[in-house]
Amino acid sequence: MDFEDYRKHDAVGLAGLVSKGEVSPPELLETAVARMAQVDPKINAVTLDLTEWGRQDVKRHIWGGPLAGVPFLLKDLGAQLAGAPTSSGSAVFRDQLAPADSAITKAYKEAGLVIFGKTNTPEFGLMPVTESTLLGPCRNPWDVTRTPGGSSGGAAAAVAAGIVPAAHASDGGGSIRTPASACGLFGMKPSRGRVSFSPTGEGWGGASIQHAVTRSVRDSAVLLDIVCEPQPGDPYFIAKPERSFASEVERDPGKLAIGFTTAALASDGLDPECAAAVLDAARLCESLGHIVEEVTVPGDLAAMQRGAGDVIGASIAATLEAEGERRGRPVSESDVEFLTWATYQRGKQVSGANYVRGLAAIHAYGRAVAGLFERYDVVLMSTLGSPAIPVGHLTEDVRQYTQRLFAFMPNTQAFNNTGQPAMSVPLAWSKGGLPIGLQFVGRMGEEAGLFRLAGQLEKARPWFDRVAPL
């Protein structure tokens, strides 16, 4: 199969060709590997090449499962692949090999996906850009001078560049939705508890969740069907739905009450093109028969952010101190990047009482926001504060880091901490040709409703054939 044929299909489409015998898994893998060799030197998306693992897999695999034979990439953070390192973007962990597959990796393999690499991520997923010292900067296929976002930047860049139709990703503050917006992809952050972190417990007090970035809505739905099986002992739990998420994509969403805002929740305001994209998306939803009204998102965002900062800081401190105990010496400032060290220093100062108060602020914010969803089915806003920013912009001046951080990603972290599902949908492009994602937030546990709406939006304003000019 040549690349042009390969790129015409999403993951479900490629699996259909395999099932009909029109293409073989080895052919698909070699097409993906050839595309990776062609474009990855320009974008640095795939930072661990496991091509030979993939080749061995396609030789011994008995093909079955909904995505049998489809090439796939894991983010180098979160998902463990037995025998392979999971660096988490940090020199601290670059040589540690996973003893076993994590639950999500097992589910991907059982579905027939062929894993042949791991993708770039910032250190410990702490930044909304992907520019770690260990792995080097990842670049956006739409404009290689700009970031693909983060922390799933390598995953999004690989999908946008056509290496794979979908890739594993995770989201603790916007890390699925941010790169989806920056790279013109569909990105669903599931509800808290929808996808297990087994065999580990949780990420960042339950704020973090795993899923994927995809070119099509149905790929995201099928992948969520594959991985939404709760595991024994999960600290957060949502039962598997009776109907598949894949079936929801084709269902009519009905007449929804949609609230929208052009506000930037955590900064002074949106880039004008992002604000215009929100208004345009609101008009599109109205034209599709939905009731659309402007809203204000309630809750004490500043208190939530302080609480989340304490939880994340304490989590990083626990990770680094455990690693120090394992290696017999403390992790030092020279072992990690400046942001990681600053986060660690903050985390060391968080008392048990302050940690609990932080969680209380997060939960209070979640209850306040939930009140808005008693009236509205969905709330619409810009995913990001602007289109993709230049590589290096966020870190070139440490004094401006926090201001630049929330100017770029003002609207995503809130919904990690409420636990609600939220999706970035590529409905707009800037005058300069950069993608602009629109974020739609649903009620807790109601990914099905978001998938129905996403399927409707995808038909009304298709984006699949808009490809990066790489």
- Return the CATH number at 405: 3.90.1300.10
Number of domains in the chain: 2
Q: Within a domain: residue 187?
A: yes
185 and 329 together in one domain: no
Instruction: Tell me if 162 sits within 8 A of 467, measured CB to CB.
Output: yes
Residues 165/159, Cβ–Cβ less than 8 Å: yes
Q: Residue 341 domain-assigned? A: yes
pLDDT of residue 143: 99
Is residue 20 domain-shared with residue 79, that is, in the same domain? yes
| Same-domain check for residues 190 and 259 | yes
Of 175, 220, 382, 386, the catalytic one is 175
Is 435's pLDDT higher than 90?
A: yes
Q: In terms of residue numbers, what domain contains 313? A: 301-363
Mean pLDDT of 62-83: 94
pLDDT at 63 exceeding the cut of 80: no
pLDDT band at 60 (very low <50, low <70, confident <90, very high): confident
Contact 160, 141 (CB under 8 A): yes
Which of residues 337, 363, 389 is at a domain's end?
363
Residue 189 annotated to the active site: no
Class of residue 461 by CB neighbours under 10 A (exposed 0-12, middle 13-18, buried 19+): middle
Is residue 410 helix, strand or coil?
coil
- Band of pLDDT at residue 202, cut at 50, 70 and 90: confident
> Does residue 278 sit in the same domain as residue 398?
yes
Identified catalytic residue from 87, 90, 102, 151 = 151
pLDDT digits (tens, 9 = 90+) for 170-182: 999 999 999 999 9
**pLDDT mean over 386-408:** 96
| Residues 74 and 207 grouped into a single domain | yes
pLDDT digits (tens, 9 = 90+) for 324-370: 999 999 999 999 999 999 999 999 999 999 999 999 999 999 999 99
Burial 372-404 (b: 16+ CB within 10 A, else e): bbeebbbbbbbbbbbbbbebebbbeeeeebeeb
* 169 and 290 housed in the same domain: yes
282-301: per-residue pLDDT in tens? Answer: 999 999 999 999 999 999 99
- Residue 332 domain-assigned (yes or no): yes
- Of 339, 363, 387, the position where a domain reaches its end is 363
Evaluate whether residue 273 is within a structural domain.
yes
Average pLDDT, the chain: 98
User: Residue 98 has what pLDDT?
Assistant: 97
Confirm whether 469 is domain-assigned.
no
Q: Tell me whether residue 382 is one of the annotated catalytic residues.
A: no
Residue among 75, 106, 118, 189 flagged as catalytic? 75
Residue 451 lies in a domain: yes
What pTM, to 2 d.p., does this model score?
0.98
> In the predicted model, what is the mean pLDDT of residues 11-23?
97
Q: pLDDT at residue 103 above 80?
A: yes
Instruction: Say which DSSP state 206 is in.
Output: G
Residues 182 and 314 in one domain: no
Name the nearest CA neighbour of 310 among 345, 337, 336, 267: 345
75 is annotated as an active-site residue: yes
